[in-house]
Amino acid sequence: MFPKSVPILALVAAAVVAGCGRRPPPSAAAPPAAATKADYTGSPEVQKVRLANGAPTLEGSAAPQAVVRLAMPAGTAFTTRADASGRWRLALPAAPEPRIFGLSQRTGGRLVQAQGYVLVGPRGKAALLRAGAGARRLDPAAGPRLGAVDFDRDGAAIVSGAAPARAWISLRLDGRQAAEARADAGGHFDVALTRLAPGAHALEVLGDGFTSAARVDITPPAPLVAGPLHSQFTKGGLRADWLTPGGGEQSTVLLD
Closest Cα to residue 9, out of 177, 148, 214, 169?
Answer: 169
In a domain, 38, yes or no: no
Last residue of a domain, one of 68, 94, 120: 120
What is the reported pLDDT for 114? 96
Q: How far apart are the first and last CA of the chain?
A: 25
Report phi then psi at 43, rounded to 5: -90, 155
Widest CA span of the chain, in angstroms?
61
Whether residues 69 and 141 share a domain: the answer is no
Q: Report the share of the chain in percent with pLDDT over 90.
A: 80
What string of DSSP letters covers 165-228?
TT-EEEEEETTEEEEEEE--TTSEEEEEE----SSEEEEEEEETTEEEEEEEE-PPPPP--S-S
Last residue of a domain, one of 100, 120, 140: 120
In a domain, 56, yes or no: yes
Last residue of a domain, one of 66, 87, 120: 120
In a domain, 7, yes or no: no
In a domain, 8, yes or no: no
What is the reported pLDDT for 131? 97
- Buried residues in 171-187 as b, exposed as e (16+ CB within 10 A): bbbeeeebbebebbeee
Its pTM stands at 0.83
What is the reported pLDDT for 1? 60
Domain enclosing residue 169, as ranges: 132-255
Whether residues 158 and 103 share a domain: the answer is no
Instruction: Report the CATH number at residue 234.
Output: 2.60.40.10
Whether residues 169 and 247 share a domain: the answer is yes
Q: Could you say which DSSP state residue 98 is in?
A: -
pLDDT tens per residue, the chain (256 residues)? Answer: 665 433 333 333 333 333 333 333 333 333 333 334 444 458 999 999 999 999 999 999 999 999 999 999 999 999 999 999 999 999 999 999 999 999 999 999 999 999 999 999 999 999 999 999 999 999 998 789 999 999 999 999 999 999 999 999 999 999 999 999 999 999 999 999 988 999 999 999 999 999 999 999 999 999 999 899 999 999 999 999 999 999 999 999 999 9
Whether residues 248 and 138 share a domain: the answer is yes
Q: Determine the Cα–Cα distance for residues 195 and 96; give it in Å rounded to an integer.
A: 34
Contact call for residues 107 and 37 (beta carbons, < 8 A): yes
Whether residues 101 and 165 share a domain: the answer is no
Whether residues 139 and 225 share a domain: the answer is yes
In a domain, 61, yes or no: yes
Q: How far is CA 72 from CA 170, 211, 256, in A?
A: 37, 36, 25
What total number of domains does the chain contain? Answer: 2
